Structure formats: structure tokens, C-alpha cells
A and B are shown apart, each in its own frame.
Chain A
Amino acid sequence: MKDYWHSVTLEPDYCNGCTYCLDRCPTQAIRIVDGKAKIISERCIDCGECLKVCPFHAKGALSDSLDALEEYKYTIALPAISLYGQFSTDYDLNKMLNTFLHLGFDDVYDIGYAAEILGNYQRKKIEESDSLKISTYCPAITRLIQINYPTLIDHIVQLESPMEVAARIVKKELIETTDLSFEEIGVFYITQCPAKITSITKPLGLERSYIDGAISIKKVYSKIIKLYEEITPEKDLLRTSSKGFNWGRVGGQSFSMGIENYLAVDGIDEVMRVLDEIELGKLNGTAFFEGYACVTGCVGGPLNVENSFIAKKNIRHLSQKCKRKENDIDLKKYPKDLLEWDQEIKPLDVMKLDQNFQKALEKMAEIEEVFQRLPKINCGACGAPTCRALAEDIVNGNASIEYCSVLMVQERRNKNEGK
């Protein structure tokens, strides 16, 4: 089954075959083949680490342009909460949101409000549960759990993301109150994150997403800044409270829910270390875990513009100075099927060597044998991230021992010296 779609892509013309992304990829999903990086689709979790690290900007994220708005009769912008962190705090954020009406959108829905609804609901779920709950807010982490930590799937909180909740609320409302049909309404996420883009096309835990497209913050940022100087706000669009703003940064969900017994971790390597600990049962007394692939949380997403630490500071500042501490939300208005996943997610055993255990064991023995011959310096010159990964590729028939130039030089030298 080749049922994979990823927003993270490679522009071969820019790639010079260096090993930055190779080394950085948390699921070892990259190989350099014929001098160009290649992504192994089934392993990619769209975390965007390769995008951040590529010095040649050869990695990108597939996203829509504003032209996509023309396909719909009525369009709505859903700006990611991290967008609020992209501006210095003297910006009037309501005015900033109003610029979207001049970019071609008919309306804007504030995701911060949806985040708050979700936060209140999530808090209830955590209080009702006697085991650790793991946030599903960062889709890259959810996919990482599917691949590398399948025993933790049961701990996943199985809630939709604020963007999805926002899209559902806004579409349902429009269909009920206007003549617009489902297909005529175009909901666009203004995104900081390739993993979220993937979640729109290939959602986790959902039959289908209510979001129709995604436009990166990078693409609209300069237009927003320009329009900001020119427009007068027409509508009250900003609804986010102190609580909602915080979803843009690591620890923000727990802050928003007002819970104390939580653990918040940012940066995919650190998240993996903590997930290892969770698998060993060492965090059994903790109520909630929120993990983010990006350092600082969503404000660290690769499609943002502002430095992530400055953006995080902005978010903190916004939350502190916001006069609206929280919105008055009646959870009864938001039924379970609006907030929860409608499908279970399954482990993805993409690391499996063979379907047959006996064959997998034979391969493993071969891998060990090949690995012992390799220099174990993980230089990446062969195109695989580690010597171990090369050994696996060789046994799987995707590489040969000649790929290891270190070994080849060594053998030639030995031969010359008559050893």
C-alpha cells in the first residue's frame, strides 16, 4: 500500500546532496541517492526538521496560494495561533486579522477560541482518566508515536486539533444560517507547520478534514504587514483570551487547562527521550503530556517568519496583557463528535524488516554481520544516516557495501600494503 502523502517535499535543483537533513531526520527517513536527498515516504512524519536545517532551502512544504480562494463562493481564513506571535506586541491583532478580509477572504475565524473550547473539554477528559493522557495537538508527534511508540497509542487523548474544531464550527454554522452548501465554502488554514498541512489531506483519527486548503504564514506575512498600514478594521474578529494565546507555545495547553501535574516538552529529540521514559512506565503518576516536534512549540514551526524564541516571548506577553482572561464557553453547545476523533489510529510498523519473524531474524543477523565490517563513524557519505542504517539498506537490497567510501579506501590501502 502506497497510501502516503506528505507536505514536506524536495526541490532537487537546490539540493547538493549534503548530509544536514540526513543527520537530522528523527525517523531516518532520508537517504542521499545520486547526489540528491530522497525522502522515504512511509517513514516521514512531516516534522519539518529537514526544512529547518537545509542550508540551500531545497526542502519545502506543499501549500496553497491565494489563487485557491477563487474555487469557492465563500472563503474563511483560519490563522494559526502562532501567527499572533509573529508581530511585535504593539500591533493591534484585531486589525491584523482584518487584513485577511482584504486578501480575498470573506471572513476570519479565530482559532484561539476553538483552542479554548478544546482546552475545557480536554481538561474534563484528563480529570476523568486515571492514566496519563498524551496530547494530539502536534501531529508530527502523533505520527512518531504510531511509528516508534505503538504501546503509547492507548494514552493518546484522541481529540481533534483547534483548526479542525474551528473549521467544523464555522462550516456547520454557515450551512445552517445561509444558502451556502458544503462545497461552496472554502476554509483555509494559515499555517506555520507542514505536519498540519499533511493532517488536512491525510487526517489522523478522522474520516476527512473540514479544511479545504493551507496557506503558509511565510506566503502571506509581507502582504499582511503592508495591508496593516492601509486598512481600517471593519469587524471584531479577535476572540482569543489569555488561555487561547498560550496554545502557540510549549506548555500552553496545560496553562490553558489550569492543570499542574503535566509535562511539556519541545524539540523532537527531547520528546523521544521522554516517550522512552513513558514507555518504561516512569511517568505513571503524571496526568498530561504535551510534546512538540518544534523547539518552543508551534511558534517554532518552520513556516513561521519571526525567530521562534522572540515569537514565544510575544505569545507570553500577549497572554499576560490580554484583558479577556477567558471566554465564557458552554461546552454543551459543542457535542462530542465535533471535538473527538471518529477513528482509531493504528501502529505503523514501517521499521519492520520482514513480515515473517524467522526471515526478519535472518535479516537482523545479516545486518549485524555487515555492520561489524563498517567503520561506525556515521559520516553519511554513503547516503545513509548511520553505518547501522547502511547495513540495513544493504541487507534490504537498497545499497551495497561499495557505498562505504571509508571502507573502500581502507581496503585499498590494506591491499597496497599487502595485508
Chain B
Amino acid sequence: MNKELMKYKFDVEMEDFANAGEASSKIKNTLRQLGMDSKIIRRIAIATYEAEINVAIHSHGGYICVYIFSNKIKIQVRDRGPGIEDIDLAMQKGFSTASDKVREMGFGAGMGLPNMKRCCDEFSIESQMGVYTELNMVIYI
């Protein structure tokens, strides 16, 4: 039962805001074809989208993997550097290390991580400064 039934992987480039949202959109269409409840699809779409934006804004690039199990969806987000110094602080609503340039584009309001957490049933985050950040999110279906 622990083996995933389907896996989708999306690469996210550093600072690629224009294409962030592609993974979320593809996942949304796939889950709709699977006939999943639309409210759950929306939560997964938001979590994936926020993850894409985060990787584009803060990291040197990374990937998002979406695993479909018979009873849950797991979203794994892993990027390359710079890592998060204080995870508790990063999880606070409104806290952001995004640059002014990014904020001018309407991103970096400090709601990404709290939004992701709000959308899923299980949420974990680990990071090593200068190396990586990895998020794991689970949504039961």
C-alpha cells in the first residue's frame, strides 16, 4: 500500500516566475480526470503553486514531485540552496526574505509557507543552510 501509483515530476528554474504555475495547472487537470473532489483538487493546486513560486523566488532552482497514492497525495518540494535559517520564523504569516524587486511583482508577501500548511493535512519542512530546503506535504483524499 505504500507504493505510489503515479508520480509526476516538474523542474522549477530559479527566478522563472512566468512559468511558475505550470506544474499546478497540469496537476489540477490530471486530478480532475481522476475524478477527485474539486475542493481537494483546489487545495493541492494552491499548495503546488505556492511551492513553485517559492522555489522560483528563493532558491537556485529545484523540483516538485507529486505522488498519487490510493488514499493520499504527497507533494515533495526540494530545492538547491540557500536554505532557511530560522524555520519557525519563516512559517510566520507575513515574514518574508523576498527582495523588493520580487515584492514589486506582487510576490513575497510572506504567505507562501503558511498557505501551503493551511492546504494540507501533514506538513514538514527541513533545511540545511547553503544546501537545500525540502518540504513534504500530504493531503488525504
Interface residues of A in 140-192 (CB under 8 A from B): 148, 150-151
User: Once the chains bind, are B41 and A280 in contact (CB under 8 Å)?
Assistant: no
User: Once the chains bind, are B5 and A361 in contact (CB under 8 Å)?
Assistant: yes
Which of B32-40, B54-62, B122-130 makes up part of the contact surface?
B32-40
User: Once the chains bind, are B70 and A352 in contact (CB under 8 Å)?
Assistant: no
User: Once the chains bind, are A351 and B70 in contact (CB under 8 Å)?
Assistant: no
Kindly state whether residue A347 has any CB partner on chain B within 8 Å: yes
Kindly state whether residue A360 has any CB partner on chain B within 8 Å: yes
User: Once the chains bind, are B33 and A347 in contact (CB under 8 Å)?
Assistant: no
User: Once the chains bind, are A353 and B49 in contact (CB under 8 Å)?
Assistant: no
Interface size class of A (residues with CB under 8 A): 20 to 34
Mark each residue of chain A from 359 to 375: 1 if its CB lies under 8 Å from any CB of chain B, else 0.
01100110010000000
Q: Which partner residue on chain A sits nearest B29 by CB separation?
A: A351
Kindly state whether residue B99 has any CB partner on chain A within 8 Å: no
Kindly state whether residue A354 has any CB partner on chain B within 8 Å: yes
Q: In the assembled complex, how far is the CB of residue A166 from the closest CB belonging to chain B, in whole angstroms?
A: 34
Q: What A residues does B81 contact at CB under 8 A?
A: none
Kindly state whether residue A357 has any CB partner on chain B within 8 Å: yes
Q: How far is the CA of A280 from the CA of B23 in the complex (A)?
A: 13
Kindly state whether residue B133 has any CB partner on chain A within 8 Å: no
Q: What A residues does B42 contact at CB under 8 A?
A: 151, 279
Interface residues of A in 318-362 (CB under 8 A from B): 347, 349, 351-355, 357-358, 360-361
Q: How far is the CA of A358 from the CA of B34 in the complex (A)?
A: 9
Q: Which partner residue on chain A sits nearest B40 by CB separation?
A: A151
User: Once the chains bind, are A358 and B39 in contact (CB under 8 Å)?
Assistant: no
User: Once the chains bind, are B35 and A352 in contact (CB under 8 Å)?
Assistant: yes
User: Once the chains bind, are B33 and A360 in contact (CB under 8 Å)?
Assistant: yes
User: Once the chains bind, are B46 and A280 in contact (CB under 8 Å)?
Assistant: yes
Known contacts A151-B38, A347-B38; is A358 also within 8 Å of B33 by CB? no
Q: What B residues does A358 contact at CB under 8 A?
A: 70
Q: Which of B5, B21, B33 contacts A353 (CB 8 A)?
A: B33
Interface size class of B (residues with CB under 8 A): 20 to 34
User: Once the chains bind, are B25 and A357 in contact (CB under 8 Å)?
Assistant: no
Q: What A residues does B76 contact at CB under 8 A?
A: none
Kindly state whether residue A276 has any CB partner on chain B within 8 Å: yes
Q: What A residues does B32 contact at CB under 8 A?
A: 148, 349, 351-352
User: Once the chains bind, are B6 and A357 in contact (CB under 8 Å)?
Assistant: no
User: Once the chains bind, are A353 and B34 in contact (CB under 8 Å)?
Assistant: yes
Q: What B residues does A150 contact at CB under 8 A?
A: 38
User: Once the chains bind, are A357 and B34 in contact (CB under 8 Å)?
Assistant: yes
Q: How far is the CA of A364 from the CA of B32 in the complex (A)?
A: 11
User: Once the chains bind, are B46 and A349 in contact (CB under 8 Å)?
Assistant: no
Q: How far is the CA of A203 from the CA of B71 in the complex (A)?
A: 38
Q: How far is the CA of A279 from the CA of B25 in the complex (A)?
A: 10
Report which residue of B28, B35, B42, B68 has the largest number of chain A beta carbons within 10 angstroms of its beta carbon: B35
Kindly state whether residue B92 has any CB partner on chain A within 8 Å: no
Q: In the assembled complex, how far is the CB of residue B125 from the closest CB belonging to chain A, in whole angstroms?
A: 21
Known contacts A151-B42, A276-B21; is A360 also within 8 Å of B70 by CB? no
Q: In the assembled complex, how far is the CB of residue B28 from the closest CB belonging to chain A, in whole angstroms?
A: 8
Q: How far is the CA of A204 from the CA of B68 in the complex (A)?
A: 35
Known contacts A358-B70, A364-B6, A365-B6; is A151 also within 8 Å of B33 by CB? no
Kindly state whether residue B30 has any CB partner on chain A within 8 Å: yes
Q: What A residues does B25 contact at CB under 8 A?
A: 276
User: Once the chains bind, are A280 and B24 in contact (CB under 8 Å)?
Assistant: yes
Kindly state whether residue B45 has any CB partner on chain A within 8 Å: yes
Q: How far is the CA of A279 from the CA of B115 in the complex (A)?
A: 14
Kindly state whether residue A281 has any CB partner on chain B within 8 Å: yes
Q: In the assembled complex, how far is the CB of residue A3 from the closest CB belonging to chain B, in whole angstroms?
A: 20
Q: How far is the CA of A128 from the CA of B34 in the complex (A)?
A: 37
Q: How far is the CA of A391 from the CA of B65 in the complex (A)?
A: 23
User: Once the chains bind, are A365 and B5 in contact (CB under 8 Å)?
Assistant: yes
Q: What A residues does B68 contact at CB under 8 A?
A: 361
Q: Which of B21, B28, B34, B39 contacts A360 (CB 8 A)?
A: B34
Spell out A's residues near B (CB within 8 Å).
148, 150-151, 276, 279-281, 347, 349, 351-355, 357-358, 360-361, 364-365, 368, 392
The contact sample of 12 A-B pairs, CB cut-off 8 A, is A150-B38, A151-B42, A279-B42, A280-B21, A280-B49, A349-B32, A351-B32, A351-B33, A353-B35, A357-B34, A361-B5, A361-B70
State the 6 A-B residue pairs at the shortest beta-carbon distance, nearest first: A150-B38, A352-B35, A151-B42, A360-B34, A151-B38, A353-B33
Beyond A364-B34, A365-B5, 8 additional pairs, beta carbon < 8 A: A151-B38, A276-B21, A276-B28, A280-B24, A347-B38, A352-B33, A364-B30, A365-B6
